[in-house]
Amino acid sequence: MRSRKHPVVRKIEPEIKQTVEDFGYELVQIKYGGEAGGRTLSILIDHPEDITADDCSEMSRRLSMMLDTLDPIPGAYTLIVSSPGLDRPLTRDSDFDRFAGEMAAIRHRSDEGERRTDTGTLEGIEDGNVTIRTEESVMHIPLDEIEEAHLVYDWDAEESD
């Protein structure tokens, strides 16, 4: 996948990842941005057995202390620590195998160079291509053409249970 991380994210990611993992969580994603005076550092964490608001609050406190000590971000910003939610971003190549069988939306460049989003069932990754089964076809999308991907919660399946 194409990685266009903000320089601040590249700078702090190793320390954040280590801290999150030290407490038994998985770092899903870090985003940083916004206008001066309204910048936000958003950190998504997960846990194999579920993530609670208390987990996020505790990690927010710990990460805030670590970031205050390192002081890697100039100026004021808001720290948000939360779960990835139902539309979990797929941020690592291994996520495409891990969530095989799940519905996902993948934004990528088409063969013609146009940006498009395809939604379907993930079938995994092989030889640098993500396989997704849409209603129309089976697609093999090269990882380096994927701009963004996330799970799609199937509300209809939930209602039928």
Considering only residues 70 and 121, tell me which one the structure prediction assigns the higher pLDDT: 121
CATH number of the 7-82 domain: 3.30.300.70
Q: What SS3 state is found at 41? A: strand
Q: Containing H/E element for 63?
A: helix 53-70
Distance, first Cα to last Cα, the chain: 34
Are 5 and 12 spatial neighbours (Cβ–Cβ below 8 Å)?
no
Average pLDDT of span 21-38: 90
| Average confidence score pLDDT of the chain | 90
pLDDT of residue 156 exceeding 80, the answer is no
Q: Containing H/E element for 11?
A: helix 7-22
| Architecture, CATH, for domain 95-160 | Roll (2.30)
Residue ranges covered by each domain of the chain: 7-82, 95-160
State the Cα–Cα distance between residues 22 and 92, nearest whole angstrom.
20
Q: Worst-scoring range by mean pLDDT, 5-9, 26-30, 122-126, 130-134?
A: 5-9
Which whole-number Å values give the CA distances from 102 to 23, 76, 96, 132, 141, in the listed order? Answer: 28, 39, 9, 10, 16
State the Cα–Cα distance between residues 92 and 66, nearest whole angstrom.
25
Fill in the amino acid letter for 50.
D
Q: What is the largest CA-CA distance in the chain?
A: 52
pLDDT of residue 159 exceeding 90, the answer is no
Q: What is the pLDDT of residues 54-77, one digit of tens each?
A: 999 999 999 999 999 988 888 889
Q: Tokens in use for 147?
A: 């701009």
Q: What is the pLDDT of residues 67-111, one digit of tens each?
A: 999 888 888 899 999 999 989 999 999 999 999 999 999 999 877
Q: Looking at residue 2, what is its pLDDT?
A: 59
